[in-house]
Amino acid sequence: MPGICASRSKHDAKLAFDSYSNTWWGSGYSGNSDGQYLEAGFGQPTDLLNILITPGASARTPQATDPARPHEFDLIVTDSAAKQHVSHLRINDGGAQKIDVAVRDAMTVRLVLHTAYGATDKRQVAIAELEFFGRSAR
């Protein structure tokens, strides 16, 4: 389920989906990276219940030298009927956080950045991990 993103960073999208919290996707742009996105696609329709996001460069508490971390973003889940389910979200700074989604037959998930903690003209926004949770197969 590697993601696709509009990024010019050496921190590729696949690093947000590699099950390691010490690697990370970077937006490739300094500041809030408003409009940059990270996207994941599912090979088949998936009943998506929750997403776990680990903002920043790792699961540990952000350090002064770390990249910026997402604060406000849109989460756009597109289902198999091409309907978009849009949520405008705000998360805390640091630590893995659960987002309830509840979309049947999800095909893609896109996280579109708007604002970030610790954004400067020398830091890009980072996401260490995005994990997806759905209904168990019966």
Distance between CA atoms of residues 84 and 40, nearest Å: 14
Rounded to the nearest 5°, which phi and psi values hold at 31? 80, -155
Strand partners, 84: 78
Residues of the chain under the 70 pLDDT cut: 1-12, 61-65, 136-138
| β 84-90/3-5 pair status | unpaired
The pTM of the full predicted model, rounded to 2 decimals, is 0.86
Domain boundaries, the chain: 3-134
| Cβ atoms within 10 Å, residue 48 | 23
CATH topology classification for 3-134: Jelly Rolls (2.60.120)
Residue 59: the pLDDT is 73
CA angle, 101 then 133 then 12, to 5°: 95
45-81: per-residue pLDDT in tens? 999 999 999 998 877 766 656 899 999 999 999 999 9
